[in-house]
């Protein structure tokens, strides 16, 4: 046995920790032919956004499996790709993510949100739990 085995680091975008570990072993098998039985996950860290209020535009480079073929596509929205190409989440692999300036945006329906004076209507009013009645005779009008 090797006393100082090599450490492998991988940034993975996943919805939870279980999927993250599974995807880690999937990519490690593809790159280094290492299995879960021959290795150990040292740590899993969740990376948080520094400024969650700031709206940013991203360019996502991802790989998509269509049946027997594999395509590499670049899109500006992950859910947009899933809906446009009718794929499932497990068949899409995100390769890299980078921030894009507003002038570099390509799609017309994304450019409409670059206006600094844009405002959105409040579609549904939310009543805070503290002010709600437990029993009411009327259905709430929101």
From 93, 41, 86, select the one nearest 63 (Cα to Cα): 93
Token pair recorded at residue 110? 């994304």
DSSP secondary structure code for residue 49 in this structure? P
User: What number of CA atoms fall less than 13 Å from residue 134's CA on the CB side?
Assistant: 0
d(C-alpha 49, C-alpha 51), whole Å? 6
CA 98 – CA 104 distance, rounded (Å): 12
What local confidence, expressed as pLDDT, does residue 21 receive? 92
Averaged in consecutive runs of 10 residues, what is the pLDDT profile of the chain (142 residues)? 83 84 90 87 85 71 68 58 69 77 81 79 73 73 64
Cite the residue boundaries of each domain of the chain with CATH code 3.10.20.10.
48-115
Pairing between β-strand 92-100 and β-strand 57-66 as defined by DSSP bridges: antiparallel
Return the CATH fold of 48-115.
Ubiquitin-like (UB roll) (3.10.20)
Contact by Cβ (8 Å): 47, 10: no
d(CA 114, CA 79): 20
Q: How many helices (H) and strands (E) does the chain have?
A: 3, 3
pLDDT of residue 62: 74
DSSP annotation of 76: S
DSSP tag of 114: G
Check residue 6 and give its pLDDT: 87
Question: What does the pLDDT read at residue 73?
Answer: 60
């Amino acid at each position: 046995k090797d006393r100082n085995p090599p450490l492998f680091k991988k940034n993975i975008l996943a919805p939870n920790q279980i999927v993250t570990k599974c995807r880690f072993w999937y990519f490690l098998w593809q790159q280094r032919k290492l299995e879960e039985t021959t290795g150990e996950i040292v740590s899993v860290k969740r990376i948080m956004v520094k400024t969650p209020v700031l709206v940013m535009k991203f360019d996502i480079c991802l790989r998509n499996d269509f049946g027997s073929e594999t395509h590499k596509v670049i899109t500006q929205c992950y859910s947009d790709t899933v809906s446009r190409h009718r794929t499932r989440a497990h068949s899409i692999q995100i390769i890299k993510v980078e921030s894009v300036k507003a002038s570099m945006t390509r799609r017309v329906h994304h450019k409409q949100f670059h206006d600094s004076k844009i405002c959105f209507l409040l579609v549904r009013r939310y009543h805070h739990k503290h002010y709600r009645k437990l029993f009411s005779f009327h259905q709430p009008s929101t």
